[in-house]
Amino acid sequence: MTRVRVLDREGAGAAVDAVFEGLSARSRYLRFHAPMPRLTAAMRRQLTDLDGRRRAAVVAECGRQTVGIARLAATDQGTAEMAIAVVDRWQRKGVGTRLITALGNLATDLSYPGLTGEVLYENLPVLRLVRRAFPGARLEPSEDEVIRISYPLTSTLTHEELVADLRW
C-alpha cells in the first residue's frame, strides 16, 4: 500500500535521488523533455529546493521505498506549475493518480487559483491522467511539441461540460 505525504526539504534529496534512479531513459525524457542520463547538481538543487509555499512537493512511498514525486512551483501569473514522476516499476498502479490528486489538494490549500503544466505530445499516459484527475483541464497544443495544461482549482464548468470533457 502506498502512502502520499507532503515532502519536506530534509527528505527531498533522498526522495529525488530514488525516483530519478527508478526512471528509465525514456521516462526521464518524458519527464524532463530532454535526454537526462544523470541528474546534474544544479538540477538536483532545483528539485530539492522546497519552501512549502512557492515550491512544494508530495511524495508517494511504499514501505521505506520512494515510488513517486509530484511538485508545484509558483509562476509569475500566480498559478502553480506542476510536474510528476513515478518510478517505472510503479507506473500504471494508481500512484500517479494519488500523487496528482494530492498535489491538487496541496495547491488548493496553498490558495493557488490554478495549476499549469507542459506535457510532451507523445506522453499519452500523463495526458490521460490529467484528464481523469482534473476534469475540465484545458489542453492546448503548441508548436514546440508540448501540450500546455491549465486547470482552474475553482471550476465554473457545468455538470454537463464536466461529463462531456471526461469522454476525451
- Residues 88-135 have pLDDT tens digits of 999 999 999 999 999 999 999 999 999 999 999 999 999 999 999 999
Count Cβ atoms below 10 Å from residue 58 Cβ, excluding itself: 23
φ/ψ of 165, rounded to 5, equals -70, -30
φ/ψ of 140, rounded to 5, equals -115, 115
CATH of domain 2-166: 3.40.630.30
CB-based contact 123:130 (threshold 8 Å): no
What are the sequence ranges of the domains in the chain?
Answer: 2-166
Angle at 112 between CA 53 and CA 4, to 5 degrees: 60
Cα dihedral 36, 9, 60, 148 sign: negative
Question: Would you state the pLDDT for residue 163?
Answer: 53
Question: Would you state the pLDDT for residue 168?
Answer: 45
- Cβ-in-10-Å burial (0-12, 13-18, 19+) of 104 comes to buried
For residues 22 and 91, what is the distance between their CA atoms, to the nearest angstrom? 11
Question: Would you state the pLDDT for residue 103?
Answer: 97
Instruction: Write out residues in the chain with pLDDT < 50, as ranges.
Output: 168
Question: Would you state the pLDDT for residue 165?
Answer: 53
And the C-alpha cell for 105? 489538494
Q: Which parts of the chain fold into alpha helices (H)?
A: 9-21, 25-32, 41-48, 95-109, 124-133, 159-166
And the C-alpha cell for 155? 471550476
